[in-house]
Amino acid sequence: MELGASCSSGMCPCPWQRGWNEMSFKPALGLSSAVINTRLQELVRLFKERTEKVKEKLIDSDVTSDDESPVPAPAAAPLPAPGGEQEGDKPSRDDHYCEMLCCTFKRQPWLDRLKSYKFPSSIDPLTNLMYVLWLFFVVMAWNWNCWLIPVRWAFPYQTAANIHCWLLVDYLCDLIYLLDILIFQTRLQFVQGGDIITDKKAMKENYLRSQRFKMDVLCLLPLDFFYFKVGVNPLLRFPRCLKYMAFFEFNNRLEAILTKAYIYRVIRTTAYLLYSLHVNSCLYYWASAYEGLGSTTWVYDGEGNSYIRCYYWAVKTLITIGGLPDPKTLFEIVFQLLNYFTGVFAFSVMIGQMRDVVGAATAGQTYYRSCMDSTIKYMNFYKIPRAVQNRVKTWYEYTWHSQGMLDESELLVQLPDKMRLDIAIDVNYNIVSKVALFQGCDRQMIFDMLKRLRSVVYLPNDYVCKKGEIGREMYIIQAGQVQVLGGPDGKSVLVTLKAGSVFGEISLLAAGGGNRRTANVVAHGFANLFILEKKDLNEILVHYPESQKLLRKKAKKMLKSNNKPKEEKGGPGDPLIIPPRAETPKLFKAALAATGRMGGKGPLGRLRWRLKELRALQQAQVSTAACLAALDIQCVHPCCSPTPPKSPVHQRSPVASRKAQTRLGEEISSESSDHSVTIRVIPTAKEDEEILAAEISEKDEKKEEK
């Protein structure tokens, strides 16, 4: 706020004016000078950088700009409808709502969604998940026929009371078979001469000429018409089991999309074993019924659950556990011999297939274990220290558990260059494109560089690079952190770099001794880094001369800026455009301090007392100004002018004369405004020594003695 009032001569309504009449006021220009100086230095630096860029473009027109590409202008908003009402504001007449609990949800009826759905004209059997889902339903129908036809034929589970349920499910499976032939199989894409064929007529003709179509037609033979003559016999549906090609296709597609396909392989192999036991149990019940239930000790006696009892017998027979009753008749002996031979063959095949499945699932683990065992054997043979052996074991374990393999290049080398490039772009392009050294380079050069990156894992406290060594690599942090060490002892953490950071890029292009490391870099915890070697970059730049020219200019500029001394980089040694007020000379301060310790008598003692009083008045002035600023008060009366009258102390303060602005080696003198005090600095023969002399006029001495 502002405060104003009338004032008589010699008096001021402001309570703080009385203090101003007793002390000297000197505006504090230190803070404003520092702000102005900082701002001017920033403007000078910006103008200098701009001038250098323009100069480079004028000298070499091939230099590309580091600025980003211009952003396209936003698309114009659509014009409103002629009627004045926007299309989005019109009330929808076809909105449908569904009430659920206490909320109402806007949705489209399922019938409308079904009508608006358009079935694809062609289906990619390798990548279309909808086709894999459809194959699942086809395989379920095929399993119904394979598992239930033998049961209905051998066991008395199909009766006149439940025949309609069996027939309903049978014909539902037949409908699935028919839809697979008419809708899905005729729309499958195929490759011919390297081209993917999507023409409807060509896809239909390809299916009609295939072996798959013949088996599909054979499995749908209408043998059901014989039901009217021989009754509902499940064996007439046995051709439905010939749709096995859909089962194997489903296995291939499902294993391609599963992350752990070996689990499904184990389940499928187990299902093979269970199905063979299932068929054997059905045959055993049929043989028992043929001989007569309970007629001998070998056949089923008809007690308990017939399927469970027969399945138990089949398990003991195929696995050759033993403890079975001996067959009595010729039929029983032949049946048992065939059963034993089949069981031994089937069981050995199942065991071999299970071993292959488990071996394929643990192939990577076996390779990792063999490599680690070989390394441990090597280290023990050469008596490597135990500490080094423990670090090697830790590296093996962490590398395997973090990425599932010891060397990623072994996997990528099997892929073609295009696929390796696609994987490298997805993993590393966002990081490499942000490196200042590579901005503005050819995009294809960066793609070629991505394929040369090599992944390396560093353990905690491992040195990534050491100060003074020759730099031949650039590092990109994929995971983890690294610390840059420095200081007098070389152990102080200067900065911590996290995932996505890049360092060592200048050493790739530096030459003539400029590619030495300037600091120690240590892994903080486990760190996974991508490395680009200098020789790989040189091989790439041979094909991109323009990018090579640009990279060398940028590297030279970076090296030049890194090698500048602090005073050239805009540090505290910058010349001040508005220099601050000179401080009291150190030699003069020492003389005043010595005078104070000796009792404070003489000319220097009186001068010391006057300077001390002046500092006290200036501190009071600063505190008063701070109070005014905090209260937001401003006196507008003329007597409250910010420039108070001069005090005697202010008049007696030394003021530098023109003689002070002399060259080195000349005498420097300063005196007060009333010429009562004179201070002289007299140089001596030695460059680092000076003589300080203070003179007080005789009039002032007599006044003070009185």
- 696, 603 Cβ separation under 8 angstroms: yes
pLDDT of 657 over the 50 cut: no
Mean pLDDT of 349-359: 84
- 682, 690 Cβ separation under 8 angstroms: yes
What are the φ and ψ backbone dihedral angles of 201, each rounded to 5 degrees? -65, -40
CA–CA separation, 144 and 174 (whole Å): 11
- Going through 108-263 in order, the beta strands assigned E by DSSP cover 190-192, 195-197
- Ramachandran category for residue 71: left, alpha or beta (phi over 0 → left; psi -120 to 50 → alpha): beta
Amino acid at 550: L
Token code pair at residue 62:
């091939």
CA distances (Å), origin 503, targets 82, 348, 476, 666: 60, 59, 7, 53
Amino acid at 568: E
CA distances (Å), origin 416, targets 179, 228, 321, 423, 540: 39, 61, 52, 11, 19
**550-605 confidence digits (pLDDT tens):** 888 887 777 777 665 544 444 444 444 445 555 556 666 666 666 666 665 666 66
pLDDT above 70 covers a percentage of the chain that reads 66
Mean pLDDT of 280-292: 92
pLDDT at 110: 64
Lowest mean pLDDT among 233-247, 324-338, 589-603: 589-603
Mean pLDDT of 437-463: 86
As to burial, measured by CB atoms within 10 angstroms (0-12 exposed, 13-18 middle, 19+ buried), residue 567 is exposed
pLDDT of 698 over the 60 cut: no
Query: pTM, whole model, 2 decimals?
Result: 0.56
Paired residues of 123 in beta bridges: 188
**73-89 confidence digits (pLDDT tens):** 444 444 444 444 444 44
Lowest mean pLDDT among 3-7, 100-104, 463-467: 3-7
Token code pair at residue 625:
């100004």
Token code pair at residue 288:
């028992």
